[in-house]
């Protein structure tokens, strides 16, 4: 089978998960792939990136929203909503954690899997990231009602106003900041509404270029996926990519 530039570097049984795990590395770029083979009806995929925050602007969270708002190959306003309408997938999502961002999906149909794979890869590696979308998802100013002063608005800004008002979340963030004061975990990865307006469009694009670099991607495959076709699709985004050093791990 043509591995399309991927080379197996390690293999072991993971009995607790009932899978045979194989770690592969794309030789040209250095991107890594974890293949989990086992008895599973779903064909699952995820691509993840290390997105440690350096401040409270919520850049990783805002970027997650913008990545899902159209790409070079699929320049739709909301391609993921269109996928939901036409896909057989049982799971489609994206999640921002305090130190990583992950884009997973699962379906039982091989062709649906390959279709979704193309949309996901184009979204993360070649998003449009327009300034208009930045203003919509991050923050912008708009006139208040009945001639009131200008108001801050934005999808993530409004979302996080509600999130940080939750006492449980506020307590958790305070505890984490106190326990890890010299690490990235002291920051509000989702974005603090007070700090979100400090994020610039240029800053967001720079964050994407550094953290979503194809060589720094980590892929996971689970189930009896069409492996050769999948590797070929992955390689189409990795071939010719300059190898870069990994981002430093979280400091503890």
- Whole-model pTM: value is 0.92
**222 close to 19: Cβ distance less than 8 angstroms:** yes
**122 close to 72: Cβ distance less than 8 angstroms:** yes
Distance separating alpha carbons of residues 222 and 212, to the nearest angstrom: 22
pLDDT at position 76: 81
| Residue 38 neighbours by CB under 8 Å, 6+ apart | 17, 18, 19, 20, 222, 223
More confident site: 37 or 81: 37
Give residue-wise pLDDT tens across range 55-110: 999 999 999 999 989 999 988 877 777 777 778 888 999 999 999 999 999 999 99
Give residue-wise pLDDT tens across range 165-190: 999 988 998 999 999 999 999 999 99
Give residue-wise pLDDT tens across range 153-169: 999 999 999 998 999 98
pLDDT at position 2: 79
pLDDT at position 17: 86
Instruction: Examine the pLDDT at 150 and tell me if it is beyond 80.
Output: yes
Average pLDDT of span 211-234 = 96
Which residues are annotated as catalytic?
64
């Amino acid at each position: 089978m043509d591995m399309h530039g991927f080379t197996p570097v390690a293999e072991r049984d993971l009995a607790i998960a009932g899978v045979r795990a194989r770690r592969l590395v794309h030789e040209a770029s250095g991107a890594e792939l974890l293949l989990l083979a086992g008895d599973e009806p779903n064909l699952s995929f995820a691509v993840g990136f290390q997105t440690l925050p350096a401040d409270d602007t919520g850049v990783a969270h805002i970027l997650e929203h913008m990545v899902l708002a159209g790409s070079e190959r699929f320049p739709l306003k909301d391609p993921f909503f269109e996928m939901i309408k036409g896909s057989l997938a049982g799971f489609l999502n994206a999640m921002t954690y305090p130190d990583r961002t992950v884009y997973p999906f699962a379906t039982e149909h091989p062709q649906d899997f390959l279709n979704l794979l193309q949309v996901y890869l184009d979204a993360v590696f070649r998003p449009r990231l327009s300034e208009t979308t930045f203003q919509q998802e991050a923050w912008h100013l708009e006139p208040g009602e009945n001639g009131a002063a200008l108001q801050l608005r934005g999808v993530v800004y409004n979302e996080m106003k509600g999130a940080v008002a939750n006492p449980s979340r506020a307590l958790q963030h305070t505890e984490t900041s106190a326990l890890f004061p010299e690490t990235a975990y002291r920051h509000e990865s989702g974005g603090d509404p007070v700090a979100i307006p400090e994020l610039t469009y240029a800053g967001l694009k720079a964050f994407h270029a550094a953290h979503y670099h194809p060589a720094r991607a980590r892929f996971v495959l689970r189930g009896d996926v069409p492996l050769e076709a999948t590797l070929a699709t992955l390689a189409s985004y990795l071939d010719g990519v300059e190898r870069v050093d990994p981002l430093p791990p979280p400091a503890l």
